[in-house]
Chain A
Amino acid sequence: MPSLKDLKLRIDSVKSTRKITKAMQMVAAAKLRRAQEAAENARPYAERFNSVMAGLAASVGDSDTAPRLLRGTGSDDVHLLVVMTAERGLCGGFNANIAKLARNKADELIGKGKTVKILTVGKKGRDALKRDYGQYFVGHVDLSEVKRVGYADAQGIAKDVMARFDGGEFDVATIFYSKFQNVVTQIPTAQQIIPATYEDAGEDEGSSVALYDYEPSEEAILADLLPKGVATAIFSALLENGASEQGARMSAMDNATRNAGEMIEKLTIQYNRSRQAVITNELIEIISGAEAL
Chain B
Amino acid sequence: MANTMQFDLVSPERRLASLQVSSVQIPGADGDMTAMADHSPTITTLRPGILKVEGPEGTQEYVVSGGFAQINADSLSVLAERAVPRGEMTREHMDEMVAEVRKAHEAAKAEEHPNAVDEAAKLLADMVAMGDHIGLPVDSRVPAP
Contact = CB atoms under 8 A, between A and B. Distances in A.
Interface of A: 38, 41-42, 44-46, 48-49, 52, 56, 150-151, 154, 208, 211-216, 220-221, 224-225, 228, 231-232, 235
Given A44-B15, A52-B43, A225 B29 contact: no
Given A48-B77, A49-B79, A221 B43 contact: yes
A225 B12 contact: no
Interface of B: 8, 10-15, 28-30, 40-45, 68, 70, 72, 77, 79, 81-82
Chain A interface helix/strand/loop/mixed: helix
A213 B42 contact: yes
Contacts of B28: 215
Contacts of B43: 52, 56, 212-215, 221
A205 to B, nearest CB: 11
A48 B70 contact: yes
A215 B29 contact: yes
B30 A215 contact: yes
B41 A42 contact: no
A45 B45 contact: no
B13 A211 contact: no
A42 B42 contact: no
A151 B29 CA distance: 22
Given A52-B70, A221-B43, A228 B81 contact: yes
B42 A215 contact: yes
Contact of B10 (A45, A208, A224): A45
B12 A45 contact: yes
Given A216-B45, A221-B45, A225-B68, 12 more contacts: A38-B13, A42-B13, A44-B10, A44-B15, A150-B13, A154-B12, A212-B41, A214-B42, A214-B44, A215-B45, A231-B12, A232-B12
Contacts of B29: 215-216
A86 B77 CA distance: 34
Contacts of A211: 41
Contacts of A208: 41, 72
Q: Which of A38, A56, A216 has the most CB atoms of chain B within a 10 A radius of its CB?
A: A216
Given A48-B77, A52-B70, A221-B68, A215 B44 contact: yes
Nearest to A208: B41
